[in-house]
Structure formats: structure tokens, C-alpha cells
Amino acid sequence: MLFPTFTSYLTSGTSFAAITDVTSNINSNYNAFVAEVQNHTLKSIQFDVNYTWAHALDYSQNANTTTATTNWLNPYAGAIANYGNSNYNVPNRVVGWAVYKLPNFVARSNWASYVMNGWSLDDSFSASNGLPVSITPSGFNSTAAVLSGWNGGGDAAYIPISDAIRLKYPRHIVDDIRVEKAFEIKEGYHLDLLCNVFNVANHQNVDGLNTTGYTFTGGTANASTATYQTSLGTTSSTNSSGFLFTPREVEIAAKFSF
């Protein structure tokens, strides 16, 4: 697919570098299949496991709360030129949890019950394909281009290539475990001791990739040299996205109910 190179500003008495046209006429398509297995009937264990297959497509629209410029490679072309897999497309996702309450070993009247009884183990697990990542350019594609980017329009969004060779984050896996000990002090008074371990396997969840695929150099009025960047696709950060992906963390807490 060919895209023009922008070599001049829109001039109407005054030159405009960019005009933001805020519209709400963009559609997206989402198709999914969900399968779930759950059990809440057993006394000692409850669990739920679900799998989602999905495919999300859109027109590269802005999903932020503020306006954005240069989302489209050619704002004068039809919207279909930007149609493809969404930035939020996650083809496969598995989520599950289980709660296991250990049986009471000692009668409540025995002091040993405070140590042996009231234990439970909770586990939550999720795994999914990584989100797609657009390959971006750097620099000017010709000396005649008014701005940087693939087509001189100042766009840093992506290089128009097939989705088949689009970058993707590695799969994301998170497994959290909670060990809980409950004490019933007397009727209406309860003490819970909790130990939460987040990302118990300390799995490396990549949340940052180097996305610059080509750098334009040696530009002329007609063209420039696009140099491939060997850092493309290399990891720039892991487990650093706040509460979503973190290194292994251990939390110890107590809760008193009355």
C-alpha cells in the first residue's frame, strides 16, 4: 500500500502544522469465545477456570481521554487503510482461581485447635498472549518532508507493514498465592493472619520493548536511506507497570473483625 510524502503545510493565510479533527464515527470489531469450568459445591475446595479466545480489530483510533494527532498515516485516505488488529488484541487468555480450606484436625475445645485449625490456601493464575506493538520509524524520510515519520506527516505511530510481522510482547503470566490462618477468639470476634505472595514464580513479564525499526539518514528531496535498528524488539523494561506486573512481592497482614 502506497502512502504519500507530505512536503508542505496547509496554507490558508496562515500555515498549520497539524489540525486535529475530533470525530466519533469509528467502529471496532470484537469476536470472542469463552469456556468456563467452575465448582462451588465441594466443602473444602472451590475453583473457577476460564479460557477466552478473542480477535479485536479497529481503525487505529485513539482510546485516550485526550485528543491525539497523526493517528492515521494519511488522513486524506479512507479509514479502511488503517484497519487491522487492534492495539488491544489478545488472542488467548486463561484465568483461574482456587480456594482450599484445610480440614480442622483438632476439636475446637482443645488449645491445639488455635494452631492446627483455620488454615486456607488461595491461588489465582492468569496467562495471556502479549499485546501487539507497532514498529516505528525515526527521522525524516526526505529533505522535502515537512515533518518526521514514515510519510513526513509527523506520525510516530507505526510503519505500514503486514500484521503477520508485527511485534508482540512475550506472553504474560501471573500467579499469586495467599496463605491464611483464621482465629475465632469468641463469638463475633475473629482474627485473620495473611501472607500474600504476588508473582510467586517471579516470572519476567515484559512491559517495554524497543519499537524503532528504521532510522532515516542521508535524506534527499526524493528519498533517504532507511537503516534497520538491531535493537528492534529488545526488552526495555520488565515487571514495572505498577499493580499489573511486578517482581515477586510478599505482603504480611492481619485483619481483626468484630
| Predicted local distance difference test score (pLDDT) of residue 177 | 96
pTM of the model: 0.78
- pLDDT tens figures, 75-113: 677 777 778 888 889 999 999 999 999 887 766 667 777
Least confident segment among 12-21, 26-35, 203-212, 240-249: 12-21
Q: Are 143 and 220 in contact (CB under 8 A)?
A: yes
Strands of 136-138's sheet, edge to edge?
136-138, 212-217, 225-228
Mean pLDDT of 115-122: 87
- Tell whether the model's pLDDT for residue 61 goes beyond 70: yes
| Angstrom distance (rounded) from CA 132 to CA 163 | 9
- pLDDT tens figures, 206-233: 988 998 888 887 666 666 787 888 898 8
| Predicted local distance difference test score (pLDDT) of residue 104 | 78
| Predicted local distance difference test score (pLDDT) of residue 14 | 57
| Predicted local distance difference test score (pLDDT) of residue 150 | 74
Q: Are 86 and 28 in contact (CB under 8 A)?
A: yes
> Model confidence at 35, in pLDDT bands (50, 70, 90)?
very high
| Angstrom distance (rounded) from CA 70 to CA 153 | 7
Pairwise pLDDT comparison (103 vs 198), residue with the higher score:
198
Mean pLDDT of 171-198: 89
| Angstrom distance (rounded) from CA 226 to CA 2 | 16
Residue 116 dihedral angles phi and psi, to the nearest 5°: -90, -25
| Predicted local distance difference test score (pLDDT) of residue 94 | 97
| Predicted local distance difference test score (pLDDT) of residue 225 | 80
- Tell whether the model's pLDDT for residue 201 goes beyond 90: yes
* For the chain, percent of residues with pLDDT exceeding 70: 80
Contacts of 239 (CB under 8 A, 6+ apart): 199, 204, 205, 207, 245, 246, 247
| Predicted local distance difference test score (pLDDT) of residue 180 | 92
| Angstrom distance (rounded) from CA 85 to CA 54 | 11
- Look at the block and give the residue holding cell 508482540: 168
| Predicted local distance difference test score (pLDDT) of residue 15 | 63
Pairwise pLDDT comparison (126 vs 154), residue with the higher score:
126
Cα end-to-end distance, the chain, whole Å: 68
| Predicted local distance difference test score (pLDDT) of residue 51 | 98
* For the chain, percent of residues with pLDDT exceeding 90: 32
| Angstrom distance (rounded) from CA 59 to CA 24 | 12
> Model confidence at 165, in pLDDT bands (50, 70, 90)?
low
Mean pLDDT of 10-29: 69
> C-alpha angle 48/131/64, rounded to 5°?
105
| Angstrom distance (rounded) from CA 142 to CA 156 | 15
